[in-house]
Amino acid sequence: MQTIVYQIKDAVYANLTNRCPCACTFCLRAKGPGVYGSPPLWLEREPAQAEIDAALDAQDWTRYRELVFCGYGEPTERLDALLAAAARRKALDPALRVRVNTNGLSDLVNGRPTAALFVGKVDCISISLNTDDPDEYLALCRPKFGPAAFPALLRFAREAAQAVPEVVLTVVGEPVTDLAKQTRCRALAESLGATLRVRPFENGTRRFPVP
């Protein structure tokens, strides 16, 4: 089965890749084949641009207000395909809100600054921050880039806030992130020109829901 797009509530989600430079201790991919009742999100192969466009064209966009690049991997691993698909949808439907849910490591993944590439194509970039502490970030997210990852995430967030209308950094609420740490994370987000969203802690099997 090849799930390129799936729907949750009033949004269409695009699943472009299963690659990710992180190995988060809380990754939902270790817990099952999908999220929130989605079809299985493990891809047999990464979809070509024409397949992505066709899958998005097949949606009844009168029923949805948002397109979210998310899926079961880091969407900026397919940055060119993501940007092309986002630009195409925006051209067809300028009122459609386009969001990217990312780990914020696009610059390291792609080997160049990338935030400016989202201008005009994406309305919101949601970045999993998880913590304000670089050492804790390393332990939680285990990025293949090592200690370079957390500063790269912050730099990407700052530059993205200059490029798109909305940048949101996310953490999971109590008991995972206590109020003091939430306060520090909010201050960090605001210093970058972003806002903080505290995602609900749900239960032990969905400890860190995919944002």
Q: Is 84 in the site for ligand SF4 (CB under 6 A)?
A: no
Quote the least distance from Cβ 51 to ligand SF4, whole Å.
Answer: 21
Q: Is 87 in the site for ligand SF4 (CB under 6 A)?
A: no
**Count of C-beta atoms within a 10 Å radius of residue 52:** 23
User: Total residues at the site for ligand SF4 (CB under 6 A)?
Assistant: 10
Q: Is 22 in the site for ligand SF4 (CB under 6 A)?
A: yes
Quote the least distance from Cβ 145 to ligand SF4, whole Å.
Answer: 12
Nearer to ligand SF4, 90 or 128 (CB): 128
Nearer to ligand SF4, 26 or 61 (CB): 26
Sequence-separated (6 or more) residues with CB below 8 Å from residue 114: 76, 79, 106, 107, 156
Nearer to ligand SF4, 47 or 73 (CB): 73
- Which residues in 137-156 contact ligand SF4 (CB under 6 A)? 141
**Count of C-beta atoms within a 10 Å radius of residue 158:** 15
Nearer to ligand SF4, 33 or 96 (CB): 33
Residues 103 and 74: beta-carbon distance below 8 Å: yes
Q: Is 20 in the site for ligand SF4 (CB under 6 A)?
A: yes
Beta-strand ranges (E) seen in the chain are 5-8, 11-14, 66-69, 97-102, 124-128, 166-172, 195-199
201: DSSP letter = P
Q: Which two tokens stand for residue 95?
A: 């009122």
Interacting residue ranges for ligand SF4, rule: CB under 6 A:
20, 22-24, 27, 29, 73-74, 103, 141
